[in-house]
Amino acid sequence: MNDRASTSVSCVSVRVPSKVNLFLAIRDRRPDGYHELVTVLQTVSIYDTVKARLDSPNAAHPAARRFMELAFTQDGGGQVPADDTNLAVRAARCLMEAIGVGTSDRDGHPDVPMTRLHLSKAIPVAAGMAGGSADAAAALVALNHLWEADLDRDELRALAADLGADVPFCIGGGTALATGIGTATAQVLARGAYAWVVGISDRPLSTAEVYRAHDEVGRRSDIEPDAVLQALRTGDAEALGAALHNDLEVAACHLRPELADDRAALLDAGALGAMVSGSGPTVVGLAESAEHAASIAALVADRFDRVEVALSPAGGPEIVRD
């Protein structure tokens, strides 16, 4: 990666975007319970930030990093785990293991450097926008830089695949086609910028529950992403709006019938297309421009706990100045 400083750093912040699935088709369920899928993902401009700080006088010396203590804080509220199960922490531990840094029994020893990780959340939680996956990707990118581990994006993606289906995509961001269980990603040609109305609910919807509902009420689909890929190739927002597709929408609306009305309300307000994002309950509407999105947002604001106007594609994890 070329975003490394030439001298040691003691603090780094990484801003990471959320995503929408412009296309999501569920194929077969594998014997291990995972679903094969074909999806086109694009990052959108609602961001979390992961800040990592190395807190030790000896930390700059590589030998001092054979062991590392990790402390984690977050400001995402009660829905976001504050312990080792947080995906940002799991990502940190995964990177430590990959580069041979242990936590060991030397806890509390003054020479063991401490890395403090802080997560600032703006991406809605359990909302179908890959918030946790984005945080895992941001933690990998931040700590790879802070610890001067020097893994390239492909090596980070390989680690990411063990953390969750969307994490490899979140490492690179942009626009990608993902297959398999979602971890095999390839960037696709995408022209143009798109403006979205993002309707957010405070009531989370579990991805696992939506997949279970899909097994009950959904069916295997053969639809291909050609129309979405063609719209992206030509930068045609109207064609993209018409081509948006999400096989999980049936299951999400089965669990939350009001989502179908939310989607209809976005279309009635003038959206070029609308759908449940991923496993929901976020509902997104595609607009002609940011101004158009703002006018749609004003019309549908009452239906949601929070409405945002967001732009896509929104790049990938990015090292930012504090």
Q: By the criterion CB under 6 A, which residues form the site for ligand ATP?
A: 80-81, 86-88, 119, 125-133, 135, 166, 204, 207, 278-279
Which CB, 200 or 271, lies closer to ligand ATP? 200
Which amino acid is present at 100?
G
Please say which residue, 209 or 318, places its beta carbon nearer to ligand ATP. 209
5 exposure class (CB count in 10 Å sphere: 0-12, 13-18, 19+): exposed
> Which residue's CB comes closest to ligand ATP?
132
- Please identify which of the residues 48, 135, 166, 262 carries the catalytic annotation: 166
Q: Of 19, 48, 135, 262, which one is the catalytic site residue?
A: 19
Query: Minimal distance in Å, beta carbon 311 to ligand ATP?
Result: 19
Q: How far is the CB of 126 from ligand ATP (least distance, A)?
A: 4
Give the separation between CA 261 and CA 276, rounded to whole angstroms. 11
CB nearer ligand ATP, residue 113 or residue 132: 132
Region class of 130: left (phi > 0), else alpha (psi between -120 and 50), else beta = left
Query: Amino acid identity, residue 228?
Result: V
Of 106 and 212, CB closest to ligand ATP = 212
Question: Other CB atoms closer than 10 Å to residue 193's CB: what's the count?
Answer: 14
* Smallest separation, CB 206 to ligand ATP (Å): 7
User: Shortest Cβ distance from residue 234 to ligand ATP (Å)?
Assistant: 27
The beta strand positions in 181-299, using DSSP E, are: 184-187, 194-200, 245-246, 273-276, 283-287
Beta carbons of 46 and 15 less than 8 angstroms apart = no
For the record, the structure tokens of 95 come out as 């990177």
Q: Least CB distance from residue 80 to ligand ATP, whole Å?
A: 5
Given the complex with ligand ATP, which of 59 and 127 has the nearer CB atom? 127
φ, ψ dihedrals at 232, nearest 5°: -70, -40
- Active site annotation includes 121: no
Cα distance between residue 12 and residue 22, in whole Å: 32
Q: Tell me the catalytic residues.
A: 19, 166
